[in-house]
Chains A and B, each alone.
Chain A
Amino acid sequence: MDALIIQILNGLDKGSAYALIALGLTLIFGTLGVVNFAHGALFMLGSFCAVTISRLFQVSYVVVDETKTDFLGNPLKVKMPYVSDWFGPEVGAWIIDWSVPLSILFAIPIMVLIGVTIERGLIKHFYKRPHADQILVTFGLAIVLQEIVKYFFGANPIPMPAPDAFKGSLDFGALIGMQSSSIIYPYWRLIYFAFAGVLITSVFCFLQFTTFGMVVRAGMADRETVGLLGINIDKRFTIMFGIAAAVAGLAGVMYTPINSPNYHMGMDFLVLSFVVVVVGGMGSLPGAVLAGFLLGILESFASTTWASNMLPGINQIIIYLVAIIVLLTRPRGLMGRKGVMEE
C-alpha cells in the first residue's frame, strides 16, 4: 500500500512538470495555431532565470582570512556576498538561501518579455505557413536558445538547492494514519506539486473568469468573428504567448532543486510534453493537464521493480506505447475537439 502511494506521489510530481509544459504548448496551439517546438527551451530558460538570479544574489568581494589557510597553505580567501553587507548577514543569508522561490518574482516579467519577443520577432511570420515550417523554425529556435545558454553557463548541470527549510522530508505515512516513516516524501517535491496545482488553476481561472480570458476563448473558437467585432485578437494572442512562456518558465524555476539545470533539459521534456499534448488532445487545456498527470503516474509505475521484471525496459517506452494506443483508438486524444489536427 505504501509503495503504491509513493509511486502515485512520484507520478503526480512528474506529471506536474509535464502538465505545466503541455498546458503552455496547448495555449499556444489553441490561440495561435502554432506547434511550438521551442517550448521546452522556455522551460529551460526559466531554470536559468533562477540560476542567474541566484548568482546575482551571490556576487561577492574577497577578503583574506590570515588565521586560516587554503589547500596550498596560503592565507584563505573568503567570499563575502554584497547582499550580506547591504541587508545584514542574517537577511543576506536568507536571500541567498531562498533564491529559488524569490526567482519567481523576476522570472515572470522576464519570461513574458521573452515570449512576446519570440512571437512578435519570429513566430508571427510563420502563421500562414504549413505546420512543418512552424515546427522547423521553432525547433531551430530551441537549438539556438540552448546553445546560447551553453555558451554563457557551460554544459554542466548547476546544483540549485531548495531553501534549508524545505530540504527535509515529510513523514507522509504518519500524516495519513499509517506507520511512521513508511512513506517519506521530500518537502520540495510536494511544494512543486502544490505550486503546479495553483498555477494551473490560476491559468484556468484567468481564462474562465476574466473579460480578457473570455475574448481569448472566443478567439480560440472563432478568430475571424471576434476580429470582425473590432477586437484586436492578435494583440491578445501575443499576450497569451507571453503568458504560456511564463508558465513554462515558472515550471522551470521551481524544478531546479529537483533536477540541476542544464542547457539540454528543455529537449528532454519537449518530446514527452508533445506526447502529453497529443494524448490529451491538441488544443484541449483540460486534456493537457489530465494527460500530464496520467502519463506521469504511468511512467512512475512502469519504473517499479515488478514492472521492469515483468517487461524489461517498459519504463523507457510506456509513454510512447500509450500514445500509440490513444492515437489508434481515439485520434483526437482523450479530450480533443473534433476536427482539430484530424484533417
Chain B
Amino acid sequence: MSNFQFTRRGLIKAAAATGAGLAMPTIISPAFAQTQAGYTNAPTGGTVTFGFNVPQTGAYADEGLDELRAYELAVEHLNGVGDGGMMNTFSSKALKGNGILGKKVQYVTGDTQTNTDAARSSARSLIEKDKAVMITGGSSSGVAIGVQGLCQEAGIIFMAGLTHSNDTTGKDGKANGFRHFFNTEMSGAALGPILEKAYGKDRKAYHLTADYTWGYSQESSMKTYTEALGWETVETVKTPVGAGDFSSYIAPVLNSGADTLILNHYGGDMVNSLTQAVQFGLRDKQVNGKDFTIIVPLYSRLMARGAGEAAKGIFGSTNWHWSLTDEGSKAFVKSFGEKFGYPPSQAAHTCYVQAILYADAAERAGTFNPCGIAEALEDFEFDGMGNGATLYRAGDHQCFKDVLVVKGKENPTSEFDLLEVVEITPRAQVEYALDHPDFAGRDMGKCNPGA
C-alpha cells in the first residue's frame, strides 16, 4: 500500500518542475530551438533520414526499382562507402563523404504504385511516421505533382524523380519542389530540328496519348514543334494508362491518312503500344508516298529493352544515357555497373543526382531547414554530373542542361547498347523564358519550413 501524501510544499515544487519542463523549448538556447522545432522533421542524433518514394509496382515499376538502386548508391557515396561516384566529378566540393553536416545518411522507402493517391499516402507515412527530412523519387508526373503539393504543405523539400510534364515546374510548380529532369517543352525543342532533317516538312501525324497530365503536356509540345515544321496533326487520341492491349487504338491509325505515329506513352505502356504498332505492320506501310514512321518523344533504355526489335530506328529524346563519355557519366556508370551488374537508366541518373544535389545544398547552407536548402539550390550552377554545365533556375526550380536526341540502335553490340545518341542538343536551344505560355499559371508560393 502506498504511503504517498500530498503536501502544499510538495504540490508547489511539482507544479514548478512541470512548468519548467513545459517551458524548456522556449527558454533553452536559440540554436537548440531551431533544430528542434524550426522546421519539419529536424534531424536529431547522428543520423538524417531521406524518404525515397518510388514506383515499386505498376506501369513504371522498372524505372522505380532502378531509382531505388541509384538512391542506395548515392547514400553509400554520401556516407563515404564505395568509390564516391559522381561526387568526385561534381563541381561543388562541399561534400566530404562523411554524411551531411556530420550526420550519417539513412533512408526509408515507399511505393508510389504509379498512383497519385497511393504516392501521397506513402509520402505522408514517410514524413509523419519515419520522419524523413526530404522526399525524392517517382516516375510519373501525376504522382510528382501530387507529392510535391503534399511536401509543400508539410514543409518538406521534394526533389522530383522522373517527371517530364511541363506542369511539374509550370502551373503546378511549388517553392519546396525541385526538378532535375527535363520536360516536354525541351523534348519538343530538341526533337524538332532532327525530325525535320530525317522526315522533312510534309508529314501527317497521329498522336496516341497517355490520358494524364504528362501525356497532355507531351502531346501539346510535340504538336507545337511539329506543326511549326509544317506537319499536320491528323488526330489525337487519349489512351488509358496501363491499357495493356492497344490494338483497338492502333487499328484506326491504319486508315487515318497519317504517315507518322507519335506515341506519347512511357514505361510499360510505351513498350506495349510500340510493339503492337509494329506487329500491326505500321512500319512496313507506305502512306502518302512516304514510309510510315513512329516517334517516341520520351525514350529510355529500359523501354527500348522491353520493346526489343520494335525500337530499332525510332527517334526520341532522353535526359541522359550511360554511353556518354564525360567524366561524370563514366564515374557513375562504373559505380553503378560494378555494384549492380548493368548500366544505370536515365531514371537512376536523375535520382542519384537529385540526392547528391540535396545533400550538397544542405552542406553549403549549413542546415536541413527546407528554406535554407531551397536558397542554396536556387540559381545554383554546377557541372560534372553527366549533363554538362547545368543551372537550377530560381524562378521555377527547373534544371537547364543539354538534352539528348536518341534513336533505337539498328545493330546493338550488347543487351545494353540499345540507343544511339544522335545529337546532344545544347542547353541554349532548349531554354525558354519564365513566362512561356505552356508554363502559365505558375504560383510557387513561399518556401514552407513546416513545424
Chain A residues engaging chain B, CB cutoff 8 angstroms: 2-3, 6-7, 10, 13-14, 70-72, 76, 150, 154-157, 159, 161, 167, 169, 171, 181-186, 188-189, 258-260, 265, 268, 299-300, 303-305, 308, 315-316
- Residue B443 interfacial (CB < 8 Å): no
Closest 10 CB pairs of A and B: A184-B281, A303-B248, A155-B57, A186-B279, A6-B251, A169-B281, A3-B255, A259-B244, A156-B61, A72-B337
Closest to B279 in A: A186
Does A7 contact B337, Cβ atoms closer than 8 Å?
no
Spell out B's residues near A (CB within 8 Å): 56-58, 61-62, 65, 235, 237-238, 240, 244-245, 247-249, 251-252, 254-256, 268, 271-272, 276, 279-281, 284-286, 306, 308-309, 322, 333-334, 337-338, 342-343, 414, 416-417
A298–B285 CA distance with the chains assembled, in angstroms: 27
Residues of A within 8 A of B271 (CB): 157, 159, 260
Q: Which of B57, B284, B417 contacts A181 (CB 8 A)?
A: B284
A260 to B268, Cβ gap below 8 A? yes
In the complex, which residues of chain B have a beta carbon less than 8 angstroms from the beta carbon of A186? Answer: 276, 279-280
Give chain B nearest CB distance to A68 CB in angstroms. Answer: 8
Q: Counting chain A CB atoms within 10 Å of each CB, which of B245, B268, B342 scores highest?
A: B245
A265 neighbours in B (Cβ, 8 Å): 244
Cβ contact within 8 Å between A304 and B252: yes
Check if A305 sits within 8 Å of B58, measured CB to CB.
Answer: no
- Main SS class of interface, A: mixed
Closest CB-CB distance, B261 to chain A, in whole Å?
13
Of the candidates A156, A169, A300, the one whose C-beta lies within 8 Å of that of B279 is A169
Choose among A171, A188, A304 the residue that contacts B248 (Cβ–Cβ < 8 A): A304
Question: A71 to B237, Cβ gap below 8 A?
Answer: no
B11 to chain A, nearest CB (A): 58
Q: CA A186 – CA B251 in complex, angstroms?
A: 11
B338 A157 Cβ-Cβ under 8 A: no
Q: Pick the contact of B245 from A154, A167, A258 — CB < 8 Å?
A: A258
Cα distance A189–B414 when bound, in Å?
30
Asked whether B338 lies within 8 Å of A72 as measured between CB atoms, the reply is: yes
Q: Which residues on A sit within 8 Å (CB–CB) of B338? A: 72
Q: Which residue on B lies nearest to A172, using beta carbons?
A: B281
Q: Are A259 and B255 in contact (CB under 8 A)?
A: no
- Among B57, B271, B276, B286, which residue has the most Cβ atoms of chain A within 10 A? B57
Contact status B56-A3, CB under 8 Å: no
Q: Give the distance to chain B from A336, nearest Cβ to Cβ, in Å.
A: 28
Q: Is the CB of A14 within 8 A of B268?
A: no
Asked whether, in the complex, the Cβ of B62 is within 8 Å of the Cβ of A156, the reply is: yes
**With A and B bound together, what is the CA distance between A150 and B57 in angstroms?**
10
Residue in B closest to A73 when the chains form the complex, CB atoms: B334
How far apart are the CA atoms of A71 and B247 in the complex, in Å? 36
Q: What are 19 A-B residue pairs whose CB atoms fall within 8 Å in the complex?
A: A2-B254, A2-B255, A6-B254, A71-B322, A71-B333, A71-B342, A71-B417, A154-B61, A155-B58, A156-B268, A161-B308, A169-B280, A169-B284, A186-B276, A186-B280, A260-B272, A260-B306, A265-B244, A305-B237
Q: Do the beta carbons of A268 and B244 come within 8 Å of each other?
A: yes
Expressed in whole angstroms, the minimum distance between the Cβ of B59 and any Cβ of chain A is 8
Interface contact B272-A259, CB-CB below 8 Å: yes
List, in ascending order, chain A residues with CB within 8 A of B252's CB. 3, 303-305
Which residues from chain A contact B306 at a C-beta distance below 8 Å?
157, 159, 260
Give the shortest distance, in Å, between A72 (CB) and chain B (any CB). Answer: 5
Instruction: Flag if B280 contacts A71 (CB, 8 Å).
Output: no
Query: Is the Cβ of B247 less than 8 Å from the Cβ of A13?
Result: yes
Shortest Cβ gap from B305 to chain A (Å):
9
- Closest residue of A by beta carbon distance from B244: A259
CB pair B285–A155 under 8 Å, yes or no, is: no
Q: Could you tell me if A71 and B281 are in contact, using CB atoms closer than 8 angstroms? A: no
Check A10–B58 contact: CB distance below 8 A: no
A184 touches which of B237, B240, B254 (Cβ 8 Å): B254
Contact, CB under 8 Å: B281 / A181: yes
Contact residues in A for B342 (Cβ distance below 8 Å): 71
